[in-house]
Amino acid sequence: MGTRMPERDAGTIVRAGARGLVAAMAMTGVRTVTAAVGPHEQTPPEAIVEKHLPFLRKLPERHREALTELFHWTYGTAGGAVYGLLPRRVRGNPVSGPVYGLAIWLGFEVGIAPALGVRHVHEHGFAWRTVVALDHLLYGVVVGGRLAPEPSSRRLRRR
């Protein structure tokens, strides 16, 4: 028995954006744990900030790290809002969120990273890419709303 997805409206888009923010924050938590148990690898947001915002190097490391996370969370929020723009029939499919999360990762790998000149992402091994893929599956599950489903249309009308 699936959750009925509401039509695409401002509330749907805002909720999907909020889920994108929470998902990006969850990814940060996963990355923190995996970095603590394995060798430190520069994340894509860190590589982008280092390459394209060199003036941030003058900031104390903790401020630079905080700004990098804020950029990542902003990107995650925007990605969630874009998911909210998808047609209801797409968002209603239980695999749409995880597929969307993987599509964002692959889009970065084959499109955004090369366009920004972030070559190091292609130098990582299988284990690192697997963790990043799982990270983006988590993002997709959260953005897809399966952990916190959209309110039903009947409940929305009663308000």
Residue 89 covered by a domain: yes
CB 3 within 8 A of CB 144: no
What pLDDT is attached to residue 117?
Answer: 84
What pLDDT is attached to residue 142?
Answer: 93
Q: How confident is the model at residue 33 (pLDDT cuts 50, 70, 90)?
A: confident
- Rounded CA separation 21/29 (Å): 13
> How does DSSP assign 17-79, residue by residue?
HHHHHHHHHHHHHHHHHHHHHS-----HHHHHHHHH-GGGGGS-HHHHHHHHHHHHHHHHHHH
**pLDDT tens string 42-90:** 777 888 888 888 888 889 989 988 998 999 999 999 999 999 999 999 9
Residue 90 covered by a domain: yes
Residue 4 covered by a domain: no
CB 141 within 8 A of CB 106: no
**pLDDT tens string 96-105:** 999 999 999 8
Residue 41 covered by a domain: yes
Range of the domain at 89: 10-151
Residue 109 covered by a domain: yes
CB 77 within 8 A of CB 94: no
Residue 88 covered by a domain: yes
Q: What DSSP element (H or E) covers 119?
A: none
The two three-digit tokens of residue 70, written as one number:
């804020």
Name the most confidently modeled range: 20-24, 39-43, 123-127, 130-134. 20-24
What single DSSP character describes residue 92?
Answer: T
The number of folded domains in the chain is: 1
